[in-house]
Structure 1
């Protein structure tokens, strides 16, 4: 076991494009940018030391060390000491991870936990049904949407069909321009949902605001400030980001009334984003072939031959990985189609 040779300065442009490919995927999945960049370099080089990662990323050793520990906890890398040194080499475990640093086994474990938690909370809410029928039914349906998302992922990751889908339409209870007001405390429920999902643990602002959209569906900016306790500038920044991602939408302004922002279907919104990300991954194959053609034509040029050999092998590997990934994700595409048909 020894340190991997890093690419020369001549090949940094291609290296950067590969990193950007992974970072774009991470951004589309709302994942942490620095964590994704470290993951990207590990995917490219297969194994790196902390010193090499610092040189490649420019991040502090503290950030790199904490990130690598989180990867060890997720079981997507292993660690081994380089002989006759005090350096550890961190090696990616390709069988445990695809194009983002969250392994499928962790995703499905979290979703099964979430599903059980929701069933428990829906049962508890029934005690309030007679007193608050609209509010309880509304929240029940919003939680159903999360269960539908979990079911689609179950069919993709576990290849298991555990349930039929659940009704989630709340339009007959409240129109989009109306914000639900709960007469009972649901903040703890929201926090528990987001904690179980675990996607945004390093971004408490996103955790809090998305949880409000999960349970309330539609809110104006002032209501978001009241419910979250965040400033207007923080809320505005979040809304701008989520509108660009098409995670939330906004109703047309009416007669100087506050604009209403909404997350219509939790399940369809998250799944649409996943499929959009998958399509981005597939769409990059032609570009990778272009890079391959360029590299293969440069075998006798001034470009470092070791760089060429390494990059050709790596890009061919990524293309194979994408093809396998596309074949494997046919289950989520079918489950998404089935959910759309159910919700018609």
Structure 2
């Protein structure tokens, strides 16, 4: 098999490849990832290493887009490239495809969330010492920050229970999973912060976003930050805080509504008269609901992948000599582990939902 067509699987295996690619595209939709980016991820995961020309032939994407996407993936150290000897052509591959599947080292994830929790507690102390005319505004912002910590504690507990780890932060800080943060009677509470709180808020959002080494100032991330601290935002307030165009804001808001991160406040509610308004009522609840929904949607594709695995085993003698068999077998084995991972995580997440006092999440 020459290098010119080694990436083209035999016809009997292309149907399996197409089904797996389709899964990754739909999985990307669930996670709000773009179809083009998902195609590149999927083909690299299946084929292990590809040139730009091979990616273009498989995906039908433009070489310009592929070049830009690969460059971005290199910048965040997701992929690497290696020159083919005797040529000026590079082959691209994942540094560790486990990162894409979410099988990152659990100890590192726990370390990240522990550090995140430490930083937010530290910011809360700064806020407590900040001079503020409106004490109710300060209390509200502290509650929102504690809600973020509570989500961090929830996700850390999920990881530790799944992997059998002890949480290093378990005895360092108050357990907010057992604390009622919100009064349900004040669901539509709204504050327009005084100037010193606005300054603190912007610095805080920059701090929590910059903790992720893949951070880019994506509009959705910025808006998520302001919804985190404000709970309720009007269209006008979003423009004022973010300085983004109306078109950019509308696009971001549409995605956040689709993902279930925020809800639209009915026009009949006169809380913010004359403007479209949106609410992120409870950070922990929103994140847990999104996580449960993501697990459930991804698991709907499990039967189709299991069917491919059975057919590969049943027809092994016919298929194992064909180009692409090893790659298809390898990716379906990873997907089998991936689905098992989601099943376990879903079970633990539902269990933890019942431990949190002031949220009501309906679980199956």
Q: Provide TM-score, normalisation by structure 2.
A: 0.75
The answer for unaligned runs of 5 or more in structure 1 is: none
The answer for unaligned runs of 5 or more in structure 2 is: none
Give the deviation of 1:299 after TM superposition: 8.3
Judging changes above 3 Å, is the alpha-carbon distance between structure 1 residues 108 and 25 closer, same or farther for their aligned structure 2 residues?
farther
Q: Provide TM-score, normalisation by structure 1.
A: 0.79
1:198 and 1:23 map into 2 onto residues whose CA distance is: 25
Equivalent in the alignment of 2:141: 139
Equivalent in the alignment of 1:337: 353
CA deviation string 1:103-146 (max 9, x = no partner)? 76765454333222211210111113774321111111111121
Give the deviation of 1:217 after TM superposition: 0.5
Tell me the C-alpha RMSD between the 2 structures: 3.7
Equivalent in the alignment of 1:232: 246
Equivalent in the alignment of 1:181: 192
Judging changes above 3 Å, is the alpha-carbon distance between structure 1 residues 330 and 274 closer, same or farther for their aligned structure 2 residues?
closer
Say yes or no: does 1:169 pair with 2:175. no
Task: Kindly indicate whether the alpha-carbon contact (under 8 Å) linking 1:153 and 1:332 is maintained by their aligned counterparts in 2.
Answer: no
Number of aligned residues: 337
Judging changes above 3 Å, is the alpha-carbon distance between structure 1 residues 213 and 47 closer, same or farther for their aligned structure 2 residues?
same
1:307 and 1:13 map into 2 onto residues whose CA distance is: 13
Task: Kindly indicate whether the alpha-carbon contact (under 8 Å) linking 1:8 and 1:307 is maintained by their aligned counterparts in 2.
Answer: yes
SS of match in other structure, 1:329: helix
Tell me which of 259, 279, 298 is aligned to 1:245: 259
Equivalent in the alignment of 2:299: 282
2:225 and 2:358 map into 1 onto residues whose CA distance is: 25
Give the deviation of 1:36 after TM superposition: 3.4
SS of match in other structure, 2:91: strand
CA deviation string 1:155-203 (max 9, x = no partner)? 233533334225463447x9343421211222122222223246762x6
- Relative contact order higher in (CA < 8 Å, ≥ 6 apart): 2
Task: Kindly indicate whether the alpha-carbon contact (under 8 Å) linking 1:149 and 1:266 is maintained by their aligned counterparts in 2.
Answer: yes
1:105 and 1:250 map into 2 onto residues whose CA distance is: 38
Task: Kindly indicate whether the alpha-carbon contact (under 8 Å) linking 2:235 and 2:276 is maintained by their aligned counterparts in 1.
Answer: yes
Mapping of residues 261-340 of structure 1, within 5 Å: 261-291=278-308, 306=322, 309-310=325-326, 313-314=329-330, 316-326=332-342, 328-329=344-345, 332-333=348-349, 336-340=352-356
1:248 and 1:221 map into 2 onto residues whose CA distance is: 13
Task: Kindly indicate whether the alpha-carbon contact (under 8 Å) linking 1:176 and 1:218 is maintained by their aligned counterparts in 2.
Answer: no
Say yes or no: does 1:206 pair with 2:191. no
Task: Kindly indicate whether the alpha-carbon contact (under 8 Å) linking 1:36 and 1:101 is maintained by their aligned counterparts in 2.
Answer: no
CA deviation string 1:291-316 (max 9, x = no partner)? 45677888899x99725734752464
Task: Kindly indicate whether the alpha-carbon contact (under 8 Å) linking 1:39 and 1:101 is maintained by their aligned counterparts in 2.
Answer: no
Give the deviation of 1:251 after TM superposition: 2.6
1:308 and 1:43 map into 2 onto residues whose CA distance is: 13
